[in-house]
Amino acid sequence: MTTGGTETGRTETGRTETGGTETGGTRPVDRSTGPDQPDGGRDVCELGATGERTVLVLTHTGRESAVSAARELVELLRDAGLRPVMLADEVTEIPGVEDVPVLDLSDVEDHVVLGAEMVVVLGGDGTILRAAELVRHRPVPLLGVNLGHVGFLAESERDDLARTVGRIAARDYVVEERMTLDVRVLRDGECLSTSWAVNEASVEKADRERMLEVVTEVDGRPVSVIGCDGVVMATPTGSTAYAFSAGGPVVWPEVQALLMVPISAHALFAKPLVTSPRSVLAVEVLSRTAGGGVLWCDGRRTAQLPPRSRIEVTRGEHPLLLARLTEGPFTDRLVAKFRLPVEGWRGPDDGAPAEAGGPSGTPRGAPAPRAADEG
């Protein structure tokens, strides 16, 4: 989300079909299916080769609610003139969708999806993060249908499935960019591994009975030496995930920033840090840390961190695209997802006489709660 120096740029790709550009003069969102691929990627399916509008459907097959939702979604997409495609291993676990075209992906992270107009994800935020592995190198937006608990990344709810498909068919949606992280693990100057994250990269202790001894660093300058259970480095999107649980601040998605949040630090100065998106965050595992540590990216990708490992985190080269059906303020989403108590809020002082809340208890001036926003 890059709009004139801020993170969020809403792209009217839905309402102007393809070829829309992000506001603020940023780069256009290219939905082409050309042969050029990022290093290490390979084509798995020319999804758009038939000329049909194709929607890739991903689901959490371990939940019966997701399985039934997938069957309904397939029928709704077909009725709307769209072509549903699913992963081969998911089709085998969902009775009634055997005739759906499939993608056979043996290693999701090493593949690139071509030609899909959108990926609709049925599940919680974890399923959406799994789907992000399919599209991180391509301008294909994700639209999450929440079947989990909080579902901050999801845009729709199970009961709104028909309305959601109608909006997709009408191209009545906007596309929002979210920052990601690029992660490097180094030791003695040698790069051991690279990874990426949508929410966070967390450096954690490997042994439960011992603390992790680390040096935290911003832009090549040390900040503090601490003993802790770990350090979370997060995006604004991840500020409501692991970083939030560790005591970090909630950062609005429109804000361009990187976060560094210590976990259970045994130190006098262990405050969360909010830095420039151009900063380089680093954590060095000190040699006196017995057993080393472990790196987790979005809780999905991991790497071992022997003593003297250095973990560097920068803003990711490839943002994540999320399809949005509503353009309300993030404040409303925050209140709805966390079920924050707002009773008694009187609204801005506009000089009008005070009024009681409505029969439903909604304060004057407050937006009425919508079922689609309840996590």
Query: What is the DSSP annotation of 116-178?
Result: -SEEEEEE-HHHHHHHHHHHTTS---EEEEE-SSS-SS--EEGGGHHHHHHHHHTT--EEEEE
Q: What is the pLDDT of residue 208?
A: 84
Q: Terminal CA-to-CA distance of the chain, rounded, Å?
A: 24
Q: Could you confirm whether 125 is annotated as catalytic?
A: yes
- In this structure, are residues 83 and 55 in contact, taking their beta carbons and an 8 Å threshold? yes
Classify residue 362 as exposed, middle or buried by CB count within 10 Å of its CB (0-12, 13-18, 19+): middle
Residue 88 CA to chain centroid, in angstroms? 24
Q: Which of 204, 374, 197 is nearest to 301 (CA)?
A: 197
What tokens were used for 317? 């080269």
Q: Which residue has the higher pLDDT, 259 or 65?
A: 259
CB hemisphere CA count around 359 (13 angstroms): 0
Rounded-to-integer distance, Cα 147 and Cα 269, Å: 39
Per-residue pLDDT, averaged over 232-255, amounts to: 95
Looking at the predicted structure, is the pLDDT value of residue 124 above 60?
yes
Per-residue pLDDT, averaged over 163-179, amounts to: 94
Instruction: Summarize pLDDT for 141-166 with one digit per residue, the tens.
Output: 999 998 877 778 888 888 899 999 99
- In this structure, are residues 103 and 44 in contact, taking their beta carbons and an 8 Å threshold? yes
Tell me the binding residues for NAD(+): 125-126, 130, 199-200, 210, 229, 240-245
Per-residue pLDDT, averaged over 68-76, amounts to: 93
- In this structure, are residues 37 and 99 in contact, taking their beta carbons and an 8 Å threshold? no
Rounded-to-integer distance, Cα 149 and Cα 165, Å: 22
Strand partners, 234: 200, 259
Classify residue 259 as exposed, middle or buried by CB count within 10 Å of its CB (0-12, 13-18, 19+): buried
Instruction: Enumerate domains of the chain plus CATH numbers.
Output: 10-178 (3.40.50.10330), 181-315 (2.60.200.30)
Strand partners, 10: 176
What tokens were used for 322? 């999320």
CA dist 219 → 234, 363, 365 (Å) = 16, 45, 44
Looking at the predicted structure, is the pLDDT value of residue 13 above 60?
no
Looking at the predicted structure, is the pLDDT value of residue 2 above 50?
no
Q: Which residue has the higher pLDDT, 221 or 16?
A: 221
φ and ψ of 62, to 5 deg: -80, -5
Residue 99 CA to chain centroid, in angstroms? 31
Contacts with 304 (C-beta within 8 Å, 6 or more apart), sequence order: 206, 292, 294, 295
Rounded-to-integer distance, Cα 103 and Cα 89, Å: 9
Q: Which residue has the higher pLDDT, 215 or 50?
A: 215
CB atoms within 10 A of CB 2: 19
SS3 351: coil
The pTM for the full model equals 0.77
* Beta strands per DSSP E along 73-180: 83-87, 102-103, 112-114, 118-123, 142-146, 156-157, 174-178
Instruction: Summarize pLDDT for 309-343 with one digit per residue, the tens.
Output: 999 999 999 999 999 998 789 999 899 888 899 88
Name the amino acid, one letter, at 272.
P
Q: Which of 20-29, 49-58, 181-190, 239-248 has the lowest mean pLDDT?
A: 20-29
79, 107, 125, 373: which one is catalytic? 125
